[in-house]
A and B are shown apart, each in its own frame.
Chain A
Amino acid sequence: MSISGKVAVSGFAEMQPQKSPGDHTPLSIAADVGLEAIADAGLEKAEIDGLIVGSSISNPGWYWSLAAAEYLGLKTKFLQQYLMPTGMLWRAAAAIEAGLCNNVLCVVGDTWDSKLLMKKGPPPFPYLGEEMEAPYGVVGAPPGYAMITRRHMHEFGTTAEQLAKVAVDQRYNACHNPTALFGHKEIGIEDVLASRMICDPVHLLEAVSPCTGGAAFVVTSVEGAKRSDNPPVVLLGAGEAGNRWSLAAAKSLTTSPVKESAEGAFKMAGLTPADMDFAQLYDCFTAVVIISLEDAGFCAKGEGGRFVEANDLTFKGNSPCNTHGGQLSFGQPGIGGGMSQVVEAIRQLMGRGGARQVQGATRGFVNNNGGIMAKECSLVLGVG
């Protein structure tokens, strides 16, 4: 049994990211975007019988999915809390195909307090490596990604300019996205390299900016998707891979589980990277885009730096990538930042990309990353 071609995304909604929480709470955001997505899918709230809700950084509760179901007033037959929005989509598909439920709302909402990371301690993210890694000041994501970036530069000669190019092209895309957090001013490679060093070799403009926001989409059977006025965005392939937690334990810092997750997704879809009209790639840091392009097969291993240098990643370009601006310029709402990549793929395939629409886009690749390039989940989506 394959889930390829069996379900479709029939509606979505996304909140405009903002720097401060204001009056929002993670659940109020989930309700706002959730109800809007259900309406966009042409469904009534009572028809939603499955819910997958993203974890919240600001409220990491055990019973979060129950709290969300209660807040939204949903009666569910399938209920889960999950981190990766790409993983939400195929899990929803599997639940529908297994006959557990018919219409699944996948939703992420989160608020962000920038002071969270500067507490005296203990570190806000307890994890397996806490005892052996936190004492060395490796807390949060930037130091780990910086070591991945350094190693890629060492092994393949990837340059600071090539890494910066990712941020520059994505900023151009963000300037055509009215909801992007950083979409008001284009930047050049020199601006990226002149920005403050966070964790050498990662500059400020190559590091994601956590924010408050959220988004939702509705997964239903291909038949059920006809209820919506939107063109159905069909799940063609999914793949997932992950096998470590501790960064120090990684045997390679430059080959990621995207290799397996993308291979699985393309195999299920019966398609290749050459068939894709765009790629929406998790981009907490610029090196992640370069490594994901390599491991997904858009270019050879080690060639990612030269690939982004030689190709145009903007929505008008020959290799459209992160057409909403990526999390680097759109913003990263809480821990579920990868939701913006899934929603942008859906939006593009529905032809609702507005000023940044990739003309004629019918197939797209989406990747979400978790841990420090420790777990990856890839999707191939299509329309028409």
Chain B
Amino acid sequence: MNTKPIPEMSDLSRHYWEQAQREALVLQRCTRCGTYQFYPRAWCTSCFCQELEWTPVSGRAEVFSFSIVHYPPFESYTDSVPYILATVKLEEGPQMMCNLLECDLDAVRVGLPVQVCYEVREGDFKVPQFRPVGGGA
């Protein structure tokens, strides 16, 4: 059983996580200035209006930076090391944290094209993750 942490969702982010259960990646987008943002919040980070709407995005991204973690941050990760932690830049602009799955440790590099995928955790909870485009890498 994958016992890695399940996020404690807030009312603001509930839709993001509910969509992830349907394997859809959604971001807030400002209907006034068009800015996409992540993580979910109550105000547009660009024009500070509150007219935000959830928008499905492509799930295409590239690796902005990464680390291969050899030291588990807490016990539920003990069996997972080494794992790849990455910040990816989504095609739509925002950056987010993830683990790169199905990726050789030797193949990861800054700029690597990646695609969203979903990791199943305890209670069938799906967490958005990324893997190299075309798989394997």
Q: Is B124 part of the contact surface with A, judged by Cβ < 8 Å? A: no
Question: A150 vs B66: C-alpha distance in the bound complex, in angstroms?
Answer: 7
Closest to A142 in B: B71
The answer to whether residues A120 and B75 also contact, given A131-B10, A135-B5, A151-B110 and a CB cut-off of 8 A, is yes
Dominant SS among interface residues on chain A: mixed
**Cβ-based interface call for B70 (8 A):** yes
B9 contacts across to A, CB distance below 8 A: 131
B 82-132 contacts with A by CB, 8 A: 82-83, 85-87, 95-99, 110, 127, 129
Report if A151-B65 is in contact (Cβ < 8 Å); known contacts: A129-B97, A131-B39, A246-B39: yes
A248 CB-CB contact with B under 8 Å:
yes
Q: Are A248 and B96 in contact (CB under 8 A)?
A: yes
Chain A nearest CB, measured from B130 CB (Å): 10
Nearest chain-B residue to A148 (Cβ)? B65
Q: Quick check: B65 and A150 within 8 Å, CB to CB?
A: yes
Q: How many residues from A make CB contacts under 8 Å with B?
A: 40
Interface residue? B47 (CB, 8 A):
no
In angstroms, Cα B82 to Cα A268, docked, is: 47
Q: Does B76 contact A (CB under 8 A)?
A: yes
A151 x B64 contact (CB < 8 A): yes
25 of the cross-chain contacts (CB-CB < 8 Å) are A118-B74, A118-B75, A123-B73, A129-B39, A129-B97, A131-B39, A132-B38, A132-B39, A135-B127, A136-B97, A137-B69, A137-B77, A138-B73, A140-B73, A142-B71, A143-B69, A143-B73, A147-B86, A150-B67, A154-B65, A199-B67, A199-B68, A199-B70, A200-B70, A248-B38
Contacts of B6 in A (CB 8 A): 135
Considering the complex, give the chain A residue whose CB is closest to the CB of B95.
A248
Q: Once the chains bind, are B69 and A199 in contact (CB under 8 Å)?
A: yes
**10 further interface pairs, Cβ-Cβ under 8 Å (given A137-B72, A199-B71):** A119-B74, A120-B76, A132-B38, A132-B39, A136-B98, A136-B129, A137-B73, A200-B68, A248-B39, A248-B96
Tell me the B residues contacting A by CB distance below 8 Å.
4-10, 13, 38-39, 64-77, 80, 82-83, 85-87, 95-99, 110, 127, 129
A369 to chain B, nearest CB (A): 18
Name the A residues within 8 Å of B96 (CB-CB): 132, 248
A148 to B64, CA, bound (A): 10
B4 touches A137 (CB 8 A): yes
> From residue A197, how far is it (CB to closest CB) to chain B in Å?
5
Shortest C-beta distance, A136 to chain B (Å), equals 5
List, in ascending order, chain B residues with CB within 8 A of A140's CB: 73
- In the complex with contacts A129-B97, A132-B96, A197-B70, A253-B65 CB distance below 8 A: yes
Alpha-carbon distance A12/B71, docked complex (angstroms): 37
Residues of A bordering B, CB below 8 Å: 117-123, 129-140, 142-143, 146-148, 150-151, 154, 196-202, 246-250, 253
Q: Which 9 A-B pairs have the closest CB atoms?
A: A146-B67, A200-B68, A139-B73, A147-B65, A151-B65, A154-B110, A132-B39, A199-B67, A133-B97
Q: Give the residue name and chain of the A residue nearest to B16 (CB).
A: A132
State whether B77 touches A119 (Cβ < 8 A).
no
The closest CB in chain B to the CB of A134 belongs to: B5
Instruction: Chain A residues near B83: list those with CB within 8 A.
Output: 137
A136 and B67 contact, CB distance less than 8 A: no
Cβ contact within 8 Å between B70 and A196: yes
**How far is A177 from B64 in the complex, measured between Cα atoms in Å?**
40
Cα of A122 to Cα of B8 in the assembled complex, Å: 10
A137 is contacted by which of B38, B39, B85, B87 (Cβ under 8 Å)? B85
